[in-house]
Amino acid sequence: MAQQQQPAQGLNGMDLIIDGWFHERGELWPGQAMSLQVKKVLHHGRSNFQDILVFESTNHGTVLVLDGVIQVTERDEFSYQEMLAHIPLFSHPNPTKVLVIGGGDGGILREIAKHPSVQEIVICEIDKGVIDISKRFLPTLAMGFEDERVTVHIMDGAKFMEEHLDSFDVIITDSSDPIGPASVLFETPFYNAMHKSLRDGGVVCTQGECIWLHLDLIAPLIASISQTYRLVEYAVTTIPTYPSGQIGFIIARKGGGDGSSKIPARKLTVEQEEGMQYYSAEVHEAAFVLPAFAKRAIFGGSGGGKADCAAGSKGKK
């Protein structure tokens, strides 16, 4: 759920429901669409920043849509939430302070709370409307806000990071797609701000778009931020209701020796294993294994250097 500014007033989520089906069409995935059958519209309105639609689907549970784009379905949300959170958290030997940018549905908070070493969880979500709606209609995600370690800031994440330098072990950005004002979250200055807000040895993980659709966005961004971060890697996960059924993550490390994020730095406890639906140590490693076409496009022929994709696999929107 992203750091977005006021959208064009013309978009109305209800217009995307035709003959009982919600149709997701977007300029970032031309020539294709995703449709879900609607059982009942639960909410439609506009926050100060975006159009918000919530409906009960026939087969995917409750669905959250922002500015016409599916953000969450109860059926498959865990594959994104778990991978976006646990890849960076298990890549760090002892994360104690974590920042989330966006993520107003609460799902990432829910996953971070599974790590007992974490003492402080800070979330910056610019749109309070997303938090309120999620607490009302998506309680299994919004339960993340109930953890006593969580502090909520309704503000722009970039500004918050400017005021908190060298502060966090892990920063997770759960953003929407790079259209309009949200595009700044996919640009080098935002990654520079995250780098400054990280402690030495810290790890950043961001929503990294789709290898089937957005290599022209992914490759230059990774090349650019590799000038700042010690190591930049890319992982993927599957999620049926995101465009092309797949989404990637950009994982970047600040200092901290020569370690990679491809291998978990810690083992899951029995309790953590039992609490996962998608993530595991094996899936963590597998997430970094990219198809040949994607590896070549993102990292070049060798796949080596400061930006590297290596043998392993990934995770969300």
Distance CA 22, CA 20 (A): 7
CB 64 within 8 A of CB 74: no
Tokens of 168: 């966090």
CB 79 within 8 A of CB 250: no
Amino acid at 13: G
Q: Which of 169, 174, 177, 308 is catalytic?
A: 174
Distance CA 289, CA 61 (A): 31
- Find how far residue 224's CA is from the centre of its chain: 20
Amino acid at 20: G
Whether 174 is catalytic: yes
Q: Which of 24, 23, 63 is nearest to 40 (CA)?
A: 63
| E strands, 145-267, in order | 150-153, 168-174, 198-207, 231-238, 246-253
CB 168 within 8 A of CB 196: no
Tokens of 79: 């594959």
- For residues 163-185, one letter each, b for 16 or more C-beta atoms within 10 angstroms of the residue's C-beta and e for the rest, the string is eeeebbbbbbbbbbbbbeebebb
In three-state secondary structure terms, 13 is: helix
CB 241 within 8 A of CB 34: yes
Distance CA 262, CA 98 (A): 20
CB 21 within 8 A of CB 35: yes
Distance CA 89, CA 84 (A): 9
Would you please indicate which residues are annotated as catalytic (active-site) residues? Answer: 174
